[in-house]
Structure 1
Amino acid sequence: MADQAEILVVGAGPTGLVLALSLARQGVPCRVVSRAEGPGTASRAMIVHARTLELYRALGIGDAVSAAGIPARSVFLREAGDEVLRLDLADLGTALSPYPYILAFPQDDHERLLVAALRDAGVAVEWRTELVGLAQDGEGITATLRRDGHEEVARCRWLCGCDGARSAVRHALGIGFPGGDYDQRFFVADVALTGESAGERITACLGARELCLVLPVRRTGQHRLIGLIPGDVPQDAPIAFEAVRGHAEALAGVTVEALHWFSTYRVHHRVAERFQQGRAFLLGDAGHIHSPAGGQGMNTGIGDAVNLGWKLAQVARGRAPATLLDSYAAERLAFARTLVGTTDRMFRAMVEPGLSGRVLRTVLVPHLLPAALGFRAARRAFFRALSQLRISYRDGPLAGGAAGEVHGGDRLPWVRHVAGDNFEPLAALDWQLHVYGTPAPALREAAEARGLALLAFPWDPAAAAAGLAEDAAYLVRPDGYVGLAMAQQDPAVLAAWLDRHGLAGPTAGRPGAGDDGPGRAPVHAPCR
C-alpha cells in the first residue's frame, strides 16, 4: 500500500488541474491521477470568462492564460445573414472586472498551460492511471488504482472526483446523475475562413431553423464553427461537413477556405444527486453537465475547484474544522442546479424547431434584444451574468451581514485605484479584512489578535460606484467572496462570526496541523 496522501485528485482536465494547483499554492500536498494518456488533444471547451480569469489571477496564472488566448472584445448578432447587433464588451465590463472580455482559449492549450503551472508548483500528473475502486472509513479513503495492468492500493484523507461525465468516482459512490438529452444534434468544426465574421470577435448567427456560433480558436487565424444541424439534413446518419457548410456560410457571412477538424455531438443536461459523500467530492462534469448556452460548463467546474480547494486547504492545515467542507456542496450544488435549469430553458428556447423557436430567433432576439441592451444598466447586467461575476452564495452557510449593496456571500466588487486594485491582495489565498475608508483602532486590534490581514483602501468614487459602503468592513474569503459584511466596524460581531464557523484563529480547526499560529498575517497600512 502506498503512503497516505492528504488529497487524491482523480481526473486531470481543467477542473482537476485547477484544484491541484489551488492546493499546491496553499501548501497542501496532493496526488493527481488521470486515465488519459496526457493533456487533451482537441480544442473542445473554448470560452474562459472574466470570473475564471479573476480566480486564475489569485492563483498566479491570470496574465499567462489571458496572454495565451484571444480576448474577444465584441459580440455580434446576425439574423438571416444580416448583422442586427454589436456589443462592445469593454464598454460593458471595464468598470466591473480587470478582464472585460470573453477569452477564446482552446481546452488542449489550456490544459497544457495548467499542467506546466502545476509541475512548476511541484506536482506531476500521473497519466494512464485509473480509479477502479474505493472504500471509506473514519480516517480516510482507500482507493484502488490501475496503471499498465498493475494495481495499487492508495490511502488519502479526501478524494476528489474530477473525472468527467462518465465519472468512475461517481459510479463507485453510487450517486445518481439525473437529467436528460436534447433531441437536436450539433456540429463543431475548426476552419480557416474569410468574411464578415472573421477576426477576434464572437458572432452568434440565427435563422428560422438554424443556429451557428463563430469564434476565434488560435492565433494562427483558425476559427471555430458550432451549430445546429439543419432539419433537412438526416439526423441519425453520418454527417460530413459539406452537409452543413452552406447553412453556416450563409448565416455567418463567411467562406470556409479549409477544414481542419469536424465532428457532431448531442448535448446533455444532468446534475448529480450529491456533490459530497463522506470524504469524497464531485466537481466539474462529474457533478454537472450543461447545454453549451453561454459557455458556462468548464468555467463552472473551475469555480468548483477553487471553492473546494481553499476549504480543503484550511481544514488540512488545521485552520478550520472539517464541517467547513460541508459548505462546498451547499454552495456549489445549489448554483449548479440553478445554472443547468437556466441554460436548459435558454437552450431549448433557442433550438426549438416549432413556431415559438422561430419567433424567438427571428423576432424577439434580433429586434427586442438590441433595444433592451441600449440601456447601460442592461448591458452591465448582461456582462455580469454571462461572465459569472453575478455568482453569489448569499443563501449559503458562510454568508452574513450586508453593507452598502454588498451582502455576505457576494463576490468582492473589483475596485481600481491609481496604485493598483483591491484584487491584488487576494493572491494571499487567505482570509482578510477590507475597509474602504478608515479602520477603527479596535478593529485593527481584533484583526491582529485573530491573525487576519487588515487592508485599508481609500474611499473614493470608484469604491462607491462598486456598491461598497464607506468605513464598512468586509471579511473576504480565500476565494475572493465576502464572508461577512459589517456596516459598522464591530469587533464583537467579527469575533462571534469567526467563532461560530471555527475560522481564522489560533484555536480554529485541528491544532498542530500546520497552523502558523496567531499573527501569521500582518496588519497592513492603508493602501494609497
Structure 2
Amino acid sequence: MSETARVDVLVVGAGPTGLTLALELSAHGVDVAIVDAAPDAVHESRAMVIQARTLEVLDRHGVADDLVAAGDDATSVTVHGRRREATIRLFDAAVGETAYPFLLFLSQAETERILAEHLARRGVDVRRGSRVVGVEQDGDRVSCTVHDDAGTPARVHARYVVGCDGAHSAVREATGIAFRGETYPQTFVLADVDVDGLDPGVHAFLGPTGLVFFFPLARPAPWRVLTMRPDGAEGPTALLDLQRAVAAQAGGRVRVHDPVWLTDFSISERCVDRLRAGRVLLAGDAAHIHSPAGGQGMNTGIQDAVNLGWKLGLVCRGVARPGLLETYDAERLPIGRYVVETTGRVFRIATSSNPLVRFLRPRVAPLVLPVLARLPALRRAGFRAVSELDVHYRGGPLAGESTGRRARGARPGDRLPDGRVLVDGTPAALHRCLSATAFTLLLYGPVGRWPQATVDAIATRWGAALRTRRVSLSDPAVDRGTVRRLGIPADQSAQLLVRPDGYVAHRTDGVDLGGIDRYLESVLGTAAG
C-alpha cells in the first residue's frame, strides 16, 4: 500500500468475515483493500464449525468444495452420561434442500488460508501488520490512518470502510458505536490435542460438575477439546490441569495429550446498537459476540459479510443507489441480537452450576435426546436452526410481494431452497444457476409461456443488475421435494426474483413481468441499466 492510497472499500480485519467481504467485493470488480493488525495469519484452530448455509454462500465463489475437501464432516454426536451413552443422529444425509447436510469441522487457520488463496487469485492480498489508528469521514469519503509494524503512517481514502476487526474493533471504537453486554463468570479452556479412547465423530461428556466437548480436526491436531477451567487451577491452565479436568468429567475413559495449542478464555455476549455510522459499517465479531453454543459465531459473521457485500458491490458499481445500504442494518442487526440471545440461553443451561441441573444433566440427557432425535420433524427443525438455513428476512425492507394462492413454499425474504432442476434445459442444481453479483429471475414453468422478446426487454432494461434463467423439473414425480419446497405446482408457472445472496426478493404467479420490473425499480432506482 502506498503512503496515500485510494480505494472503493477498505476492509479492516482479515478473519473469515473480512476475507469473505473482500471476496464478495472483488467478484463485483470493486477496488478493495484489506488490512489486518496481526503480523501473520492465525495458526490455531479457533472457530472450527462451518454450517451448511455458510458453505452455500461460499459456493457462489467456488470456495465450498475446497473447504469440504480439507475438513471433517459430521452428522451425529455421541452423548456420554453417568452410566450410558447414546449416539444421536443430528442431520439427515438425504436432506434435499441443501448440498451440505452436515457440520463441517475445519480449523479457522485452514478456513482463512483457503479464503485468502481464492482472494489472491483475484489479485487481492492482505496487508498484514497494518493497524488502523484513526478514522475520519466527511460527506463522500472516509480517511483512515494506518500504521505498519514500525509505526510508519499511511493514509487510505475510501468511499466506505468496514470494520471486521473483532471484539476489540478499532473501527467500532473510532465511530463511537456502543457495544453493550456482559461477560460470563466462568473461565473456559480450549485446546487442540491428540486423544486416546475416542471413536470418530463429535463427543459430549456430561460430567458430575461440568461438560467436556470433543470435536474432530484434521489440523493442527486430531481433536479440539472445550471444557470449563478446572477449579483451583493457578496461573494459565497447563496440560496436567486439562488432563485432570477431562478425567473428572469423562470418568477416566479419555486421555488427552500432545497439545498443539491450549488457552484459557472467558465468554462475553455483546451487541452493537447499530451497524452503520455514515460510511463506516461493522460486521462479524466487531458487531456481536456470544457463546460458542451451536457454532454460530464465525458463520454469523460470514453471513453479515455476504449480506453487506452484494449491496456494497452494486452501490460501488453504480448499479444501485446508496440507499440500498440502509437495508444492511435493518436485516442483519436483528439476526445478530437473536444469535446472542439464543446461544446465551443454551450456554447458561449447559454450564449451570445449579445442583438440580447438575444432577439431571448426566442422567436425563442421554435418555431423552436420542428419543427426540428419532422424530424426523424435530431432527429437520434442529438441522435448519443450527445450520442457519432458517435465517430469513421476511417483513424486511427488501421482501417484495408474493402473489398467488400458496400456503407453503419459499416466500419473499426466505432462502431459496436448493434442488435438482432443469436450467435452460440442462440438469443442474438450482443454487448453482444463481448469480453472485446480480439478481436472478427464475422463470419457472414451460419454456413457451414467456415470449423471448419480453424476457429480452426486461434483461436489457436492467442490464448488469439482472440475469434470467428458465427453470423446470425433469420429472415432477421424482422431484416432489423440490416442488413442495418451492411451493409451485409442477403444472403452473411462476416467477421468482432471487437476490445475489440467494434469498427470494419477489415472487408472483403467471407470466406478467410487471411486478418484477416495479420491484427492481423500487430497490435499485434509476441507477441500474
TM-score, length basis structure 2: 0.90
Q: Which residue of 2 aligns with 1:307?
A: 307
Confirm whether residue 66 of structure 1 aligns to residue 73 of structure 2.
Answer: no
Q: Which residue of 2 aligns with 1:413?
A: 417
Q: Which residue of 2 aligns with 1:243?
A: 241
Change in Cα spacing, 1:250 to 1:209, as seen in structure 2 (3 Å) is closer
In the TM superposition, what whole-angstrom CA distance separates every residue of 1:400-434 from its partner, at most 9, and x where no partner exists?
23454211111110112483210112254321112
Q: CA deviation at 1:207?
A: 2.6
In the TM superposition, what whole-angstrom CA distance separates every residue of 1:234-283 from its partner, at most 9, and x where no partner exists?
26754323223244246454232433322211111000121101000001
| Contact 2:497-2:507 at 8 Å conserved across structures | yes
Confirm whether residue 118 of structure 1 aligns to residue 104 of structure 2.
Answer: no
Alpha-carbon separation, structure 2, partners of 1:81 and 1:214: 19
Aligned residue runs from structure 1 range 100-249, under 5 A:
100-147=101-148, 148-195=150-197, 197-199=198-200, 201-218=201-218, 222-230=222-230, 233-234=231-232, 237-249=235-247
Alpha-carbon separation, structure 2, partners of 1:366 and 1:436: 46
Change in Cα spacing, 1:109 to 1:472, as seen in structure 2 (3 Å) is same
Q: Report the residue type matching 2:349 in the other structure.
A: A
Change in Cα spacing, 1:398 to 1:356, as seen in structure 2 (3 Å) is farther
Q: Report the residue type matching 1:410 in the other structure.
A: D
Alpha-carbon separation, structure 1, partners of 2:457 and 2:247: 64
Q: CA deviation at 1:332?
A: 0.8
Give 3-state SS (helix, strand or coil) of 1:405's partner.
coil
Q: Which residue of 2 aligns with 1:475?
A: 497
Answer with 296-305 or 456-465: which moved more.
456-465
Give 3-state SS (helix, strand or coil) of 1:407's partner.
coil
Alpha-carbon separation, structure 1, partners of 2:249 and 2:199: 13
| Contact 1:131-1:145 at 8 Å conserved across structures | yes
Q: Report the residue type matching 1:245 in the other structure.
A: Q
Q: CA deviation at 1:80?
A: 2.4
Confirm whether residue 498 of structure 1 aligns to residue 520 of structure 2.
Answer: yes
Q: CA deviation at 1:221?
A: 6.3
Alpha-carbon separation, structure 2, partners of 1:432 and 1:426: 6
Q: Which residue of 2 aligns with 1:462?
A: 481
Q: Which residue of 1 aligns with 2:389?
A: 389
Confirm whether residue 444 of structure 1 aligns to residue 455 of structure 2.
Answer: yes
| Contact 2:57-2:306 at 8 Å conserved across structures | yes
Q: Which residue of 1 aligns with 2:88?
A: 86
Q: CA deviation at 1:12?
A: 0.7
Give 3-state SS (helix, strand or coil) of 1:423's partner.
helix
Change in Cα spacing, 1:117 to 1:321, as seen in structure 2 (3 Å) is same
Q: Which residue of the other structure, out of 434, 448, 457, is the alignment partner of 1:426?
A: 434
Alpha-carbon separation, structure 1, partners of 2:458 and 2:358: 58
Q: Which residue of 2 aligns with 1:281?
A: 281
Change in Cα spacing, 1:220 to 1:275, as seen in structure 2 (3 Å) is closer
Answer with 274-283 or 234-243: which moved more.
234-243
In the TM superposition, what whole-angstrom CA distance separates every residue of 1:88-143 from its partner, at most 9, and x where no partner exists?
5343x631310111111101121122222111110111111111111111111111
Q: CA deviation at 1:320?
A: 0.6
Change in Cα spacing, 1:16 to 1:70, as seen in structure 2 (3 Å) is same
Q: Report the residue type matching 1:29 in the other structure.
A: D
Change in Cα spacing, 1:360 to 1:410, as seen in structure 2 (3 Å) is farther
Q: Which residue of 2 aligns with 1:513?
A: none
Q: Report the residue type matching 1:205 in the other structure.
A: F
In the TM superposition, what whole-angstrom CA distance separates every residue of 1:144-185 from its partner, at most 9, and x where no partner exists?
111121111221100000111000000000111000000111
| Contact 1:75-1:89 at 8 Å conserved across structures | no
Q: CA deviation at 1:74?
A: 2.5
Q: How many residue pairs are counted as aligned between the two chains? A: 502
| Contact 2:90-2:379 at 8 Å conserved across structures | no
Q: CA deviation at 1:447?
A: 3.6
Q: CA deviation at 1:495?
A: 1.8
Alpha-carbon separation, structure 1, partners of 2:308 and 2:170: 19
Q: Report the residue type matching 1:454 in the other structure.
A: T
Q: Which residue of 1 aligns with 2:97?
A: 96
Q: Report the residue type matching 1:464 in the other structure.
A: V
Answer with 61-70 or 439-448: which moved more.
439-448
| Structure 1: tracts of 5 or more residues without a match | 510-516, 518-528
Q: Report the residue type matching 2:377 in the other structure.
A: A
| Contact 2:90-2:373 at 8 Å conserved across structures | no
Give 3-state SS (helix, strand or coil) of 2:527's partner.
coil
Q: Which residue of the other structure, out of 1, 10, 13, is the alignment partner of 1:11?
A: 13
Q: Which residue of the other structure, out of 21, 29, 34, is the alignment partner of 2:23?
A: 21
Alpha-carbon separation, structure 2, partners of 1:360 and 1:98: 37
Give 3-state SS (helix, strand or coil) of 2:368's partner.
helix
Q: Which residue of 2 aligns with 1:524?
A: none
Alpha-carbon separation, structure 2, partners of 1:365 and 1:405: 34
Give 3-state SS (helix, strand or coil) of 1:71's partner.
strand
| Contact 1:12-1:34 at 8 Å conserved across structures | yes
Change in Cα spacing, 1:417 to 1:488, as seen in structure 2 (3 Å) is closer
Aligned residue runs from structure 1 range 237-276, under 5 A:
237-249=235-247, 251-252=249-250, 253-276=253-276
Q: Which residue of 2 aligns with 1:316?
A: 316
Answer with 251-260 or 104-113: which moved more.
251-260
Q: CA deviation at 1:501?
A: 1.4
Confirm whether residue 375 of structure 1 aligns to residue 396 of structure 2.
Answer: no
Question: Which runs of at least 4 in structure 1 moved beyond 4 Å after TM superposition?
Answer: 249-252
Change in Cα spacing, 1:360 to 1:385, as seen in structure 2 (3 Å) is farther
Alpha-carbon separation, structure 2, partners of 1:359 and 1:414: 43
Alpha-carbon separation, structure 2, partners of 1:309 and 1:81: 50
Q: Which residue of 1 aligns with 2:37?
A: 35
Q: Report the residue type matching 1:434 in the other structure.
A: L
Alpha-carbon separation, structure 1, partners of 2:161 and 2:78: 43
| Contact 1:210-1:229 at 8 Å conserved across structures | no
Give 3-state SS (helix, strand or coil) of 2:65's partner.
helix
Give 3-state SS (helix, strand or coil) of 2:390's partner.
coil
Change in Cα spacing, 1:378 to 1:467, as seen in structure 2 (3 Å) is farther
Give 3-state SS (helix, strand or coil) of 1:450's partner.
helix
TM-score, length basis structure 1: 0.90
What is the root-mean-square deviation in Å for CA atoms of aligned residues?
A: 2.1
Identity of aligned residues (%): 38
| Contact 2:268-2:290 at 8 Å conserved across structures | yes
Q: CA deviation at 1:289?
A: 0.5
Q: Which residue of 2 aligns with 1:526?
A: none
Give 3-state SS (helix, strand or coil) of 1:462's partner.
helix
Give 3-state SS (helix, strand or coil) of 2:243's partner.
helix
Q: Report the residue type matching 1:409 in the other structure.
A: G
Alpha-carbon separation, structure 1, partners of 2:143 and 2:436: 33
